[in-house]
Amino acid sequence: MDYHRNYRPCPTFFVEEDYGMESRMRQERQAKQEHDKQMARERQYVMADELSNLTSEQLRDDVLSHMLEMDNQTLPDVESIDIQTEIQWFMRPYLLDFLIEAHTAFQLLPSTLFLAINLLDRYCSKRVVYKRHYQLVGCAALLIAAKYNDKKDRVPTIKELKSMCCSLYDDDMFTQMEWHVLQTLGWSIGHPTVDAFLQHAVLDDAYDPEVEHMALYILEIALFHRDFVAKLSSELARAALALSRCILNRPQPRHTHWSSQYDSMTLVALSQQLHQPSTVVARKYASAHYSRVSKVMEHFLNRQASLATYARCTPPVETPIESKPYNGEIGLATPQKSQQLTAIPHGYLTPPITPDNEALVHAHTQMANHDMNRGMPTVHHGCSSSPVPSAEMQYMNSEAYQQQQEAMYMAQQAALQQFPLAPTHMGMSQTYQGGM
């Protein structure tokens, strides 16, 4: 009795099972809320893309005109860079190789590299740069471009840049140079890069990564040359895009398209710089990430060189001249000599002249006379020199002699019409006509 009176049920009976069910229900509610949030976020992204595309269609011309205006305002001055006291143009490839390797190591956007080079050139157009600070200015330009254009988690730190420069500069020097570059440029960083114009040019076309990568490869090669420093980004982008389509055998756009209005001189100038690209750039674009366009370019240039060599070695085809019978008209019985030169197998345009050797000719003459006196046949023991034609032969081969012969022939024909000859002379006349 006391046992049943003192017995009380455990307060934790079935509590664990109830708690497990509530936990599962709470997790399901949280998962559903997360799913709803994700779906709402996706719908917002889709709506934002649609609105962005609609706005870009409506404002595309305004955006392009603003980009062209900024492109003119943010061009560097090449003549000011020419008068730098210490830095020279031959130093530029070494700095660009360093910046391209750093840009690739930090996995920055392509436009970040072109923006950094623009900031570097604009700063060198306005400030005297010492040789020992040239790399520091390049690092500061890359740091500014990455902060302005790229993702925050990929912006290089000063410690990383210092390590890449082998601790040549202190931390404060990077900060001071970054501030000095911004002050010099008036905090105007928004330069429309060639990459931005390239994206605008292919906006209405089907996505072709190989063409875009080839155009970027050509544009990075152009960074190394002085001739393209002061070129507008819009001109470079259109010319590089047309050249890449030519190399990859892609159709060109319609003449009404913006990208088709490229400068032919810029395209030719770009094509002349493709034979010796930087090793760093060629290695960068040989990866599968960039469609291995540097290898495609190498094969294209080798094929073009082989075709040019074959064209030089193949003799041109001469059109045979039909001989017509003489029917009384002057000039038809004598075929004219072709003015087209034929290619010589050994590469000579004309046969080499054999020098006159009077001693050798005299020796051969004496040997021939000696053999004739002995009653033996004449044997030539070597190649004699080329004989010099006499004055009479030279006159006979001259143009005046040919004109004289034609005049005599015309006079003879006129006389024959007035005084017909005997049949025996007609045969001679026919033989003479055949000789003409």
Q: What pLDDT does residue 21 have? A: 76
DSSP designation for 397? T
What is the C-alpha separation between 161 and 85, in angstroms, rounded? Answer: 26
Strand ranges inside 174-317, DSSP E: none
Give residue 394's pLDDT. Answer: 47
Spatial separation of the C-alpha atoms in residues 8 and 35, rounded to whole Å: 46
DSSP state of 157: P
Does residue 180 have a pLDDT over 90?
yes
CB 274 within 8 A of CB 218: yes
Name which of 70-84, 89-103, 117-131, 320-334 the model is least confident about: 320-334
Q: How many CB atoms lie within 10 A of CB 380?
A: 9
User: Per 3-state DSSP, what percentage of the chain is helix, strand, and coil (rounded to 5)?
Assistant: 65, 0, 35
78-185 fold = Cyclin A; domain 1 (1.10.472)
Cα–Cα distance, 152 to 326 (Å, whole number): 90
> What is the rounded distance in angstroms from the CA atom of residue 191 to the CA atom of residue 71?
6
* CATH architecture assignment, domain 194-309: Orthogonal Bundle (1.10)
Rg (C-alpha) for the chain, rounded Å, is 42
d(CA 317, CA 387): 32
The predicted model gives 112-122 an average pLDDT of: 94
Q: How far is CA 52 from CA 59, 63, 154, 345, in A?
A: 10, 13, 26, 65
Strands (E), 58-140: none
**Of the listed ranges 68-77, 110-119, 194-203, 379-388, the one predicted with least confidence:** 379-388
pLDDT tens for each residue of 257-276: 777 778 889 899 998 888 88
Of 37-41, 181-185, 315-319, 373-377, where does the model show the most confidence? 181-185
Q: Where does CATH 1.10.472.10 sit in the chain?
A: 78-185, 194-309
CA distance 38 to 32: 10
Cβ neighbourhood burial of 182 (10 Å; 0-12, 13-18, 19+) = middle
Tell me phi and psi for residue 152, to 5 degrees: -65, -35
User: 244 with 202: CB under 8 angstroms?
Assistant: no
Question: CA nearest 257: which of 302, 305, 192, 202?
Answer: 202
The CA-to-CA distance between both ends of the chain, in Å, stands at: 156
Between 24 and 378, the more confident residue is 24
Q: Tell me the two tokens of residue 134.
A: 């040239």
Rounded to 5 degrees, what are φ and ψ at 192? -75, 115
Instruction: Give the integer Cα–Cα distance in Å for 271 and 233.
Output: 17
Q: Taking the alpha carbons of 170, 176, 182, 184 in that order, is the dihedral positive or negative?
A: negative
Instruction: Report pLDDT digits (tens) over 118-137.
Output: 999 999 999 999 999 999 99
In this structure, how many other beta carbons lie within 10 angstroms of the beta carbon of residue 342? 10
Q: Average the pLDDT over each of 3-7, 78-82, 266-270, 349-353 and give the range with the smallest value.
A: 349-353
Residue 271 to residue 222: CA distance in whole angstroms: 10
3-state secondary structure of 121: helix
380-429 pLDDT tens trace: 444 433 344 444 444 445 565 566 666 666 665 655 555 444 444 444 43
